[in-house]
Chains A and B, each alone.
Chain A
Amino acid sequence: MADWVEACAVDDVDEEDVIRFDHGGRSFAIYRSPEDAFFATDGFCTHEKAHLADGLVMDDIIECPKHNGRFNYKTGQAKGAPVCVNLKTYPVKVEAGKVMIDIG
């Protein structure tokens, strides 16, 4: 069942960047791609507990700040060691300048 929540304003995220969003005891990462589209994933790396919002966005890749593990933030796909487990992704929509994610 869909559970849309407001994560941030569009302008809160720079192009080709990521910010952290915490809600209900959970942590998410909100991305803005170079093509100006928004995406959302779980906040923490699946390898070890490091928040991806401290990492680097390059094209469609988010690189974890701790061990440089890479994921495709659009699909959640782990791109090789040291990350082996895919990242959970969430549907995103933009409404009236707000980024909404479905955490349901």
Chain B
Amino acid sequence: MTTASGTKRDYSLVGESTRRAIETGLASAEWYHTDVARKTMKELMQRSDSPAIRDTMIWIIAILGSAAGIVWFWGTWWVVPFLFVYGVLYGSSSDSRWHECGHGTAFRTRWMNDVVYHIASFMLMRNPVQWRWSHARHHTDTIIVGRDAEIAVMRPPDLLKAALAFTGILDFRYSLPTLVRQAFGTLSDDEKSYIPQMEQHKAVIAARWHMVVYAATIAVAIALRSWIPLVLIGLPRLYGTWHMVLTGLLQHIGLADNVTDHRLNTRTVYMNPISRFIYWNMNYHVEHHMFPMVPYHALPKLHELIKHDLPVANPSMWHAYREVWPVLLRQLKYEDFYLKRELPPTAKPYRGEFHDLDITAAAAE
């Protein structure tokens, strides 16, 4: 249950692993990028409002339509399909909107990114300031233990926790108290480690705004003597979060940590069109991490362009989970174990001198 260097992984952002990551040069390191001609990359990076406006209109109409269905059919079994749709739109697709708009790549127009970013952050019970910075860190130090604030499944994996994530219970239990704590002006040491001091007060203000809306929702529910306001605002974080977890867990689970090549620690998975709409093409996750400037609607094109240099994508979510399940079971006993992604013959090889710092233990071939 140790890393190659003989110390157990410490996932705190101010602990022993943090110190080691900085000392060994893993923190803020240079990462591998597939060669793409500047002219081509410039075309891929181009921003446009049109795709995101179209998708956001569909998203809003579907949210309002399913919300109307919930209100209309409340008290009958007919409400169930509307809860299903509304829950996924609110509790899952908000994650990809939060993500893309946080990067500022969804829309060309900045304020459109900001508006959707703040709405989606609220839906997810995420502090928009804190999570902007944690995600920046995730891109700087992807799955570097002690540095990355967004490692979903730590080693050894807690499989019960991972299973419960599909219900949203654990995230709800974490997110809401976190917002309350922040609203009272307290940021944790981990949060302070990645939010610059000059931005910390903004995180407190954002948390207070979220609390105001939740308090108002509760007040309306009490005044109306109805659960509907809470079913529409807040609770979808529980009953609609499963799709976000289903797709999001696959981004990095079971793959290498403490490496500086996204081909080793990140996964691209082919998905059905509905999941891709909900997920805004984040299934092309290696491509996204390698080139975060490329908007979601250009990721399929980027994938076609660089797939010769990437591990073969998993053909489905089912395939990816089947592949990683035995790895997770083995990690319960040997936390250094991981799934090594094979590269096609056309790819540039992994650079061992970058990757052997922490992963000299057995790797699943």
List chain A positions with a Cβ less than 8 A from chain B. 17, 47-49, 54-56, 58, 63, 65-68, 70, 79, 81-82, 84
Q: Closest A-chain residue to B129, C-beta based?
A: A81
Inter-chain contact B140/A63, CB cutoff 8 Å: no
Q: Which of A67, A70, A79 contacts B292 (CB 8 A)?
A: A67
Contact with A along B127-169 (1 / 0, CB 8 A): 0010011001001100000000000000000000000000000
Asked if A58 and B136 sit within 8 Å, CB to CB, the answer is no
Given contacts A65-B292, A68-B103, 10 further A-B contacts (CB under 8 A): A47-B136, A48-B140, A56-B47, A58-B108, A65-B293, A66-B292, A68-B293, A70-B110, A84-B196, A84-B199
B29: nearest residue on chain A (CB-CB)? Answer: A49
Whether the pair B42, A56 counts as a contact (CB closer than 8 A) is yes
Give residues in B with beta carbon < 8 Å to A. 28, 41-42, 45-47, 103-105, 108, 110, 129, 132-133, 136, 139-140, 196, 198-199, 291-293
Q: Please state if A68 and B105 are interface contacts (CB–CB under 8 Å).
A: yes
- Specify which chain B residues have a CB less than 8 angstroms from the CB of A67 in the assembled complex: 136, 139-140, 292
Closest B residue to A79 by CB, please name it: B110
The residue in chain A whose Cβ has the minimal distance to the Cβ of B31 is A66
- Using known A-B contacts A81-B132, A81-B133, determine if residue A68 contacts B104 with beta carbons closer than 8 Å: yes
Which residues of the partner chain B approach A47 to less than 8 Å between Cβ atoms? 136
A99 to chain B, nearest CB (A): 18
In the assembled complex, the CB of A56 is this many whole angstroms from the nearest CB of chain B, namely: 5
CB distance from A31 to the nearest CB of B (A): 13
Q: How far apart sit A54 and B104, CA to CA, in the bound complex (Å)? A: 16
Docked Cα-Cα span, A21 to B140, in Å, equals: 24
Given the complex of chains A and B, what is the CA–CA distance between A55 and B293 in angstroms? Answer: 8
A67 vs B31: C-alpha distance when bound (angstroms): 14
